[in-house]
Amino acid sequence: MRRCPTCGCELGPLESRLGCITCQVRKRVAYRNLIYPSLSLADRAVAALEQSDISLASWDIRRLVDRGREDPTHPASLTSLLGKDRRFCWAGRGMYGLYRHGLLPGARDLHDVGLFYLFASDRPLDTEELCFVIRNAGYRFTDASLMVALVRYRAPLDRDQRGRWFIDKTEPKCRDFMANLIELKAGETFDAVLGRTAEQVRAGLAEMNRRLGPAVREGSRAQSVVALGKRVLDEQGVEDDRRKSREPKAFAWPLPPSCDYFEGDTGRARRVRRRAISIVEGRPVEPYVAVIECRDRYLEACVKSYRQVVYGA
């Protein structure tokens, strides 16, 4: 799998080979001498996720991409974008992240995710085990929805005598079917994703056994795994709340300098901010005709703080 040449993060199959959007800009210096990559709404959402260490709910992504802007993004247009642009990986209902967050590229619901993790496992799994493994990998869902999702469509899926799920790998089309689930061709990239997923299954089962402890008897094991799964779900909720409270408060533009230029016309500060947004997002801007020192200094300050919003430190 390709990695970002700057920070070394794993890149999803559809992310730019030049690396993270945020890294591409951090390498460059003052705004007058550089060309920012031109950013669409989707790029800004990718940049927001790059700065997060976990997947985010779509309303949270919208909040991040809207900071500092006068024109709020329509929730529906962001939602459809997150579903369509394959750089975003589905992470649960209304939740998205990037490949680097440990998510499958191309998978779009719990059906795809559940089957692929079963395929990557080298042994059959109980529903509870599969639940824990997928949740441990960063997905959000309720226990009941996984069962429903697994059997929703036709798949090379089966259960053994103990009721554990497995994928029939002897089925000749099985590999193509799985590649299709994550919208890849069976090839090198597919093998890399499969390898990472197999590793997540092993890590998930090891973590499950560690947390269950040695004392659990075979009979009560299934219930213990279910209880453990619920605990993980609760922990994910707590982690979300903690992250939100840690988030810096809504972004505020720097105040314009007190001078005749800005005090004479309150619309001027807004126009400078809009220009700063355009510069940071790499859209072409007409150069100013006259040199007005306080305005140019303010533009520079605005570019700097907006750059921080989009690209991080």
Which residues of the chain form contacts with Zn ion (CB under 5 A)? 4, 6-7, 9, 19-20, 23
**Minimum separation from the CB atom of position 7 to Zn ion (A):** 3
Residue in 1, 206, 180 with CA at minimum distance from that of residue 121: 206
Kindly state the tokens that stand for 195: 């390898």
Q: How far apart are CA 201 and CA 136, in angstroms?
A: 9
∠ CA(228), CA(195), CA(23), 5° rounding?
95
Closest to Zn ion by CB, 11 or 276 = 11
The distance of closest approach from Cβ of residue 60 to Zn ion in the complex, given in angstroms and rounded to an integer, is: 21
Q: Which is nearer to Zn ion, 20 or 130 (CB)?
A: 20
Closer Cβ to Zn ion, 11 or 201, answer by number: 11
**Shortest distance, CB of residue 11 to Zn ion, whole angstroms?**
8
Query: Within a 10 A sphere around the Cβ of 246, how many other Cβ atoms?
Result: 7
Q: Least CB distance from residue 72 to Zn ion, whole Å?
A: 28
Of the pair 4, 225, the CB lying nearest Zn ion is at 4
Smaller CB separation from Zn ion, 9 or 78 = 9
6 vs 180 by CB, closer to Zn ion:
6
Q: Is 103 exposed, middle or buried (0-12, 13-18, 19+ CB in 10 A)?
A: buried
The residue written with tokens 């200094």 in the block is 297
Least distance from C-beta 297 to Zn ion, angstroms? Answer: 31
According to DSSP, residue 33 is labeled: G
- Taking the complex as a whole, the smallest distance from the CB of residue 1 to Zn ion amounts, in Å, to 14
Supply the minimum distance, in Å, between the C-beta of residue 122 and Zn ion: 32
- Closest to 145 (Cα-Cα) out of 131, 162, 160: 131
| Angle ∠(135,141,145) on CA atoms, nearest 5 | 120
Of residues 46 and 225, the one with the C-beta less far from Zn ion: 46
d(CA 107, CA 94): 13
User: Between 97 and 256, whose beta carbon lies closer to Zn ion?
Assistant: 97
Residue 39 CB, nearest approach to Zn ion (Å): 16
| CA Rg value for the chain | 24
Helices (H), 182-287: 188-212, 218-246, 260-264, 267-280
Residues in the chain: 313
Cβ 55 vs Cβ 19: under 8 Å: no
